[in-house]
Structure 1
Amino acid sequence: MAIYDIAVSFAGEQRQFVAAVVAAAKVRGLSVFFDEDKGNEWWGTNFIRQQRTVYGSQTRFFVPFISREYLSKAIPMDELSAAMMTAVRQGDGYILPVLMDDVEVPPELLHPQIHYLRSGDFSPEGLAEQLVQRVGVATSAGQEPRDVGEVVQEAMSYRMPRVIPPDFSKYELLDAAFEYLRYQFDQALPQLESSGFVGWTRVSGEMLKVRIERQGKTAYAIDIDKNGFNSDDQLNFIIGGNSTGSVNSSNGYATPYFDRDAGIPKLKMMDFSVFGSMGGSGQTYTKEELFNKLWNSIVDRLERG
């Protein structure tokens, strides 16, 4: 597999300038993929379909020379230019764009954090020096060459809509969260004995009762009701226990939902005083995070006596 310091992409109208930059870069010791060396036509055209030689090559930087012609090359039919502009938009540090003359790249195509050079600021030799410096920094930092084809394929992976999976069920998540909390309490409570506390859990119908005692006195009590507070798709939390059996009592409740941004199921917690705070504004947790938050609040209360 061939490994290059830089690989260049350009529209035919900029061939003369790019050739001068490539020649100056080679004089300065850089290995460069340049289509004339391979006997190919401008290698951006139909890049993915024709599987050109560079497709199986690696390079430390991919350098697209972006001109008006480059931007107008039938995007997105031209796979390479489309892929490179996608990578530029995404801020891929592997891409080092050179803006030709006074071309203005639309803001939606140029990531604000991407570093770029402008050809008008350098002679071909000066631009080659800049590339040498960038390659030197990357090499010293241990930046590995990347496969050109992989980068193109990544860039061409089109954004898909974030949707709730068709098999997601809030009631299944509710059951799973309830059983998870029960299991974790069963595992954690016996460990309190080393600190002088005795803990136990009971399940009564749809309610999980958690009690912690010290010398025969209740140090902490919470009921977790799967019937909810004002809806049957919630976990309702009642600090101190629900001795009256009233469904109108609540110190907070958690509602299952699917977090489309994170791509995982979570619970949205409306906390009145479960975690020792007042007026919770709807923090979100996985079932694991919810137990950890709840357990830490219990330990805090036990420490305060």
Structure 2
Amino acid sequence: MSLAHTVNERHNLRHRLPFISTEYLAKPIPQDEFSAAMMTAVNQGDGYVLPVLLGKVQVPSDLMHPHIHYLKADDYTPEQLAEAVAHRIGASGQQPAREVGEVVQEAMQVRLPKVVPQTFSTYRELGTTYDYLADQLQAAAHQLESAGFVGTVRRGEVKIAVRIERQGRTVYGLDIEKGSSFGDSSLNFVVGTHRMGAGGNSSNGYATPFFDREAQTPKLKMVDFSVFGSMGSGDRTYTKEEFFTALWDRIVEQLER
């Protein structure tokens, strides 16, 4: 009787656990199988074979190897035998024991299509991003006082107005608006304190939420005219966290001039 215990890593057999009985050794195929396993163990020298002898079986001398340790099943209860085997596998530096359910679930995992979740909403993500930017700008502007600037962030239902002063003089301005001539699902960005164009339809860039299927996360597609000073560099995508970091870095660069 033979049982092979396998830990599969890149399809390589890590351990072979043969239960050797008189009947097992009386047949040519099991003998060949066991002999091949023993030769592999000699080459690997890492506890590849963990033989368990059943009853009063005699292993032929040509199948015996001095560095292979045999366990005699009669010397153990089933529970003790299992513990002895587990100890030897663990002592050989292999992976720790895992819950059966965890292993089965991992093995059943298959590739699934990357699609946009049914619950994703462009307008909801627009609102989430708008609130996030307002919160982050308010927190960051407050810290500008330690550098000699006064930052004010006015937050309304459809517009965030950022103004930064130094000694009473406005040195930077930015308006972030929900909706624009580019669509009501976009955030419009206007840099400066003087609005241009009739009806305030100027824009230095706009960002539209979308769901990145590859990354499986919401992002912003930014069409930048001059918000980041990157006109002509092409569209870029950001998470809302990445977007705020890039925006604040640009504001700081402007203040350092």
What corresponds to 2:209 in structure 1?
256
What corresponds to 1:233 in structure 2?
185
Q: TM-score, normalised by structure 1?
A: 0.56
What corresponds to 1:208 in structure 2?
160
Check whether the contact 1:253–1:271 (CA below 8 A) recurs between aligned residues: yes
Q: 1:261 to 1:18 in 2, by over 3 A?
A: farther
CA RMSD of aligned residues (A): 3.8
For the pair shown, the structure with the greater C-alpha radius of gyration is 2
Size of the alignment, in residue pairs? 205
What corresponds to 1:191 in structure 2?
143
Question: 1:263 Cα deviation (Å)?
Answer: 1.4
Counterpart CA distance in 1 for 2:226 and 2:175 is: 13
Q: 1:180 to 1:301 in 2, by over 3 A?
A: same
Question: Quick one: which amino acid aligns to residue 189 of structure 1?
Answer: A
What corresponds to 2:26 in structure 1?
none
What corresponds to 2:46 in structure 1?
30
| Percent of paired sites with the same residue | 45
Question: 1:229 Cα deviation (Å)?
Answer: 3.9
Counterpart CA distance in 2 for 1:219 and 1:181 is: 20
Counterpart CA distance in 1 for 2:180 and 2:225 is: 14
What corresponds to 1:6 in structure 2?
14
Check whether the contact 1:59–1:146 (CA below 8 A) recurs between aligned residues: no
Question: 1:258 Cα deviation (Å)?
Answer: 0.9
Question: 1:291 Cα deviation (Å)?
Answer: 0.7
Q: 1:198-247 deviations in whole A, cap 9, x for unaligned?
A: 11012355111101011122111111011134100000111114635645
Counterpart CA distance in 1 for 2:218 and 2:148 is: 37
| Structure 1 unaligned blocks of 5 or more | 9-13, 40-52, 61-135
| Structure 2 unaligned blocks of 5 or more | 8-12, 17-28, 55-81
Q: TM-score, normalised by structure 2?
A: 0.66
Q: 1:109-161 deviations in whole A, cap 9, x for unaligned?
A: xxxxxxxxxxxxxxxxxxxxxxxxxxx9xx5xxx7456596556424311111
What corresponds to 2:220 in structure 1?
267
Q: 1:19 to 1:182 in 2, by over 3 A?
A: same
Q: 1:48-84 deviations in whole A, cap 9, x for unaligned?
A: xxxxx9xx97998xxxxxxxxxxxxxxxxxxxxxxxx
What corresponds to 2:132 in structure 1?
180
Check whether the contact 1:229–1:249 (CA below 8 A) recurs between aligned residues: no
Counterpart CA distance in 1 for 2:183 and 2:108 is: 44
Counterpart CA distance in 2 for 1:295 and 1:58 is: 56
